[in-house]
Structure 1
Amino acid sequence: MAESKENREEVLTCPICVETFRKPVMLPCQHSFCRECIGVYADKSKPGQTDEVSCSTGSEGVDQLISCPVCRTPTSLGREGVAGLPPNFHLAEIVERLSSAVKIEDDTPYCSLCEDDNQTKAVKFCTDCCFLYCKDCLATFHPMRGAVKCHRLISSLEYHSQETSQRQTGGRDEEATPQVSCASHGQPFCLYCVPCRMVICVGCVVDHPKHAMQDIPSAAENDKPAVLNKTCKLEKVLQETKESLSGVLRLHNKIQETQELHTQEVERAYCAALEALQAWKQQSLDGIKTRYSQWSVECSAILKHFQLQAQEMERMVQASKDLVASMDVKFLQVS
């Protein structure tokens, strides 16, 4: 905690007076200083001037050139002098918010499990167990494994902020839109770090030393043109894709239609060939039947003729045998 406060003090300290910023202004190199401090520094940088010279303007009609007290980057103050430097409203807001954050840290609630005579300030609050935990109790009684692995933990600062808000509003408003806040510090996002390209809260400022900051609405407005430009390009690509899709769809439909036509032609050719084959089959069968029927009739007539002849011969053979077996007188008479 002491190290965090030291880092915050360093971030909030003017490099010239080494005190908390008062009406900070920003040079083009992104370094900020108290307006009064940079004015005095600019006056001392003028050749032949003393500390009593006005700190708000440069020499009449001449653009004063100074070096940044931190990085020594040359900077032209312009004809308005220090008065023309842009105020760093973001830094001023950070100073105000960090002052409020220090007060909130002082009001951090205590652990729910520590004994009364040895209470320690909490670092986490479990929204499922509804208990505040200090660092030691969190590791001992609420390890993130097993049955409590899926429990949601928030920082004690976020818990304190929610409790304070509920007390001020008279309870929880279920229908209210939840405030988007930092998971690490529980503070609402209010700044945008330009080099890191991320939104941060006032508690995150110590992790982004000497980084250029913007308020979220300004950063969003700055990024919206690029996003809109990309959106327009994407819309053109989408339109071209839709046109290509329509062309491919038409080609696909044409292929299906052609396939259907060819299928119908094959079906018709097959049916015609099948009908012709069936007609040839029937004609061939009829011819075979006719020819073989005629041959069968003729063969039957010949067969009947030979059968009659065979029967007649059998009778004659039997009569001859009977004659030979008869009396000699009868044999001689008949033969």
Structure 2
Amino acid sequence: MAESMQERDDVLICSICMETFRKPVMLPCQHSFCRECIDSYADKFKHVQTDENSGSTGYEDVHQLIACPVCRAPTSLGREGVAGLPPNFHLAEIVERFSSGVKVEDDIPYCSLCEEGNHVKAVKFCTNCGVFYCEECLVICHPMRGPLKRHELISPLEYLSQETSQGQVSRDHQSTQQPSCPRHGRSFDLYCEPCRMVICVGCVVEHQGHAMRDIPSAAENDKPAVLSRTNELEKVLGETKESLSGVLRLHSKIQENQELHTQEVEKAYCAALEALQAWRQHSLDGIRTRYSQWSVECSAILKHLQLQAQEMERMVQASNDLLASMDVEFLQGSTDFTKTYV
């Protein structure tokens, strides 16, 4: 644990001022320094370059080139100088948590090889294998001999301090294993042009007499063809997306027209139903009016005929009574009957 604490302190210390990081920034080589420290270092480096090139003019117009204080890798600062270097937010967060008393060990990933249920915090991370190792798994699975001797082992905190959102894998998703030769366990270093395959140093014997190139130059040689094909695919992709957009618009238009025509049919149906109901009501009202009038007229005629029938019945009865009377009465009443009922 003491070794782990010392290791943690070393990771959180700037290699220029030898103090805890303050506003750390990251160089392209992944080494971090305090912004003020690398700024002062760049100024001194610039003075050294100016002294060495005192006969030259217009040096200020050239992007300043510095060497990393740790690995001496060249770095161009660009037009913005140190101000253009990206901040190492993750390292700053670790420093802040350490300074506030929060346990930084909580961020350290577990060993990638330990069995489930027996997780142990990692003590090393292999940048070649992309695997976190605890002390026991490191001795058993990654002995520093043979091909593994060239692998770079760093502390988990150093790995976390170098982690960026652009290219590094987060601690929740550990980095995948770098490609290596399955036969010899070595990293691929060469490209065999006739066989069109990458090989390691151990495979060279099997490819004797073949034209070989280093992997970076071979990749650069093949990139134009891939780029050309990519441009073609992007063009086809653009056309496909344009067609897809057209079909989507057509589909949307079909749905809109379906809804519009459905509404028109429903509207026409409601209008026709309303007109039919109005015609029905009008027809029924007309029928009631006409037949009611006819009924009144018929009732009046019926009443008149009934009165007339009653009168006729009375006349018939009077006539029958007259006929049944004595002759003298008949003769006396016939004249009046004729006058009355003519």
Bin of the TM-score, shorter chain as denominator length: 0.3 to 0.5
